[in-house]
């Protein structure tokens, strides 16, 4: 319970939104939330204001807060930006790689290999996240790292959908291998290119998924 109730609530509500417990478009009633969490309205409002600032909900003056529904197109756009940022992170990582970062990447990459080999998509989902975070950290750019982590977080629910797709798991891992090679070889441009497509593909896969669901 992170020091003050406002922050705790922010994280709590954020998780609820990202896990679809609060559905997109749903109205968030301050009083209801306050009762549910056993606090007064004040910290609830503080949490909501923060989520509004982050862009997860929208507060319309005098009309309450609703969960933002990004919509397939906007999610694709977010993947597009994510791909670009990850590409930059990879490029910087390749140029600035030091021992600690190299070991972190090797370790997380190894864990991905295990879970991919075992076909455990839940484990891979988690290990994959750590692998990408290791690359962000290796970029040695605090700001970039923060931006990447934040976007990654917002895209998390949509990533998860795709790992169940046939062969995606092993394809993803082989892409990781090429990325690691490029970074360790100090080839920034190649790392950038590989990461950009690696992440960009997820946006396209997501579009395909939505398209196939729409025609169904």
Interface positions with its own copies (CB under 8 A):
3-4, 6-7, 42, 45-46, 49-54, 61-62, 74, 77-78, 80-81, 84-85, 87-88, 141-144, 147
Give me the residues paired with residue 27 across strands.
66
To its own copies, the closest distance from the beta carbon of 16 in angstroms equals 17
Beta bridge partners of 59: 65
In the complex with DNA, the residue whose CB is nearer, 48 or 169, is 48
The single residue listed with the structure tokens 């969960």 is 67
Nearer to its own copies by C-beta: 154 or 176?
A: 154
Min separation Cβ 10 and DNA, Å: 10
Q: How far apart are CA 119 and CA 193, in angstroms?
A: 27
Report how far apart the first and last C-alpha atoms of the chain are (Å, whole number). 44
DSSP three-state, residue 40 = coil
Q: How far apart are CA 135 and CA 145, in angstroms?
A: 9
Q: Which does 77 bind (CB under 5 to 8 A by kind): DNA, its own copies, none?
A: its own copies
Q: Which is nearer to its own copies, 85 or 183 (CB)?
A: 85
Residue 60, CA distances (Å) to 49, 68, 123, 158, 166 in order: 11, 12, 39, 26, 42
Nearest distance, CB of residue 38 and its own copies, angstroms = 20
Interaction between residue 200 and DNA (CB under 7 A): no
- The answer to whether residue 40 forms part of the interface with DNA (CB under 7 A) is yes
Tokens 């990325």 — which residue? 179
Q: What does the buried/exposed string (b/e) look like for 196-208 if buried means 16 or more CB atoms within 10 Å of the residue's CB?
A: bbbbbbbbebbee
Interaction of residue 66 with DNA, rule CB under 7 A: no
The entry of DNA, its own copies, none near residue 64 (CB within 5 to 8 angstroms by kind) is: DNA
Residues that bind DNA (CB under 7 A): 4-6, 27-31, 39-43, 45-46, 59, 61-65
């Amino acid at each position: 319970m992170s020091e003050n109730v406002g922050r705790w609530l922010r994280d709590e509500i954020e998780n609820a939104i990202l896990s679809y417990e609060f559905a997109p478009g749903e109205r968030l009633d301050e009083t209801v939330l306050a009762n549910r969490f056993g606090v007064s309205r004040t910290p609830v409002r503080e949490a909501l204001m923060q989520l509004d600032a982050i862009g997860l909900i929208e507060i319309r003056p005098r009309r309450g807060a609703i969960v933002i529904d990004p919509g397939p197109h906007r999610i694709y756009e977010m993947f597009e930006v994510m791909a670009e940022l990850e590409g930059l992170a990879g490029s910087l990582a390749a140029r600035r790689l030091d021992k600690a970062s190299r070991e972190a990447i090797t370790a997380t990459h190894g864990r991905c290999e295990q879970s991919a080999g075992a076909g455990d998509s839940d484990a891979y989902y988690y290990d994959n996240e750590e692998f990408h975070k290791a690359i962000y950290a290796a970029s040695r750019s605090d700001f970039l790292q923060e931006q990447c982590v934040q976007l990654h977080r917002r895209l998390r629910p949509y990533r998860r959908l795709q790992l169940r797709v046939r062969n995606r798991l092993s394809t993803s891992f082989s892409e990781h291998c090429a990325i690691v090679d490029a970074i360790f070889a100090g080839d920034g441009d190649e790392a950038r290119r590989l990461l950009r497509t690696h992440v960009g593909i997820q946006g396209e896969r997501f579009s395909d998924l939505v398209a196939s669901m729409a025609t169904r």
